[in-house]
C-alpha cells in the first residue's frame, strides 16, 4: 500500500480516472445523439443496436450463435410458417421416409 509520500501520485491517478469518466459520459451522450438522429431519419434503433453488437463479434462465433438460434427456433416450430420453414419441413419429412405431406403427422399451409 502506498504511504503518505505518494499522495501526489494518488491524486494524479484519481484525477485521470475522473477525466476519463467524464470523457466516457460525453461519448455515451454522443452515441445516444446518433441513435436519436437515426430514429429521426426512420431507422429502427433496436435493429441498429443489434447490428452494432453483431459487428463487434467474431464472425465465426456469430455464425455459430445464429445456427444455434435457428436450431432452437426450428425445434420450437417457429419457422413452420415461412418458406424456409416449409422447405425444412419437407426435407425432414423426406428424410423420415414420408412420400408426401399427406401421410405426415402434420400439414403444411395450403399455399405451400
Residue 1 falls inside a structural domain: no
List helix spans (H) across 1-97. Answer: 7-40, 45-56, 59-75, 83-95
Domain match, 64 and 112 both: yes
Domain containing 99: what range? 58-112
The whole-angstrom separation of Cα 74 and Cα 83 is 13
Q: Would 2 be classed as within a structural domain? A: no
Q: Would you write out the chain's pLDDT as a tens digit for each of its 112 residues?
A: 556 667 899 999 999 999 999 999 999 999 999 999 999 999 999 999 999 998 998 999 989 988 898 888 888 878 767 777 777 777 877 877 766 555 555 555 554 4
Q: In this structure, is residue 13 part of a structural domain?
A: yes
- 0.75 surpassed by pTM: no
Contact at 8 Å (CB) between 2 and 9? yes
Asked whether residue 68 falls in the same domain as residue 30, the answer is no
Q: How large is the C-alpha radius of gyration of the chain?
A: 27
**Number of independent structural domains in the chain:** 2
Residues 65 and 110 in one domain: yes
Residues 99 and 64 in one domain: yes
Amino acid at each position: 500500500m502506498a504511504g503518505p509520500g505518494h499522495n501526489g501520485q494518488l491524486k494524479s491517478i484519481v484525477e485521470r480516472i475522473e477525466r476519463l469518466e467524464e470523457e466516457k459520459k460525453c461519448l455515451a451522450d454522443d452515441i445516444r445523439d446518433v441513435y436519436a438522429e437515426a430514429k429521426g431519419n426512420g431507422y429502427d434503433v433496436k435493429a441498429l443496436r443489434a447490428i452494432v453488437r453483431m459487428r463487434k463479434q467474431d464472425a465465426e462465433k456469430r455464425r455459430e450463435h445464429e445456427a444455434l438460434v435457428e436450431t432452437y427456433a426450428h425445434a420450437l416450430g417457429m419457422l413452420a410458417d415461412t418458406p424456409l420453414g416449409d422447405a425444412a419441413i419437407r426435407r425432414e419429412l423426406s428424410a423420415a421416409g414420408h412420400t408426401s405431406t399427406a401421410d405426415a403427422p402434420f400439414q403444411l399451409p395450403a399455399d405451400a
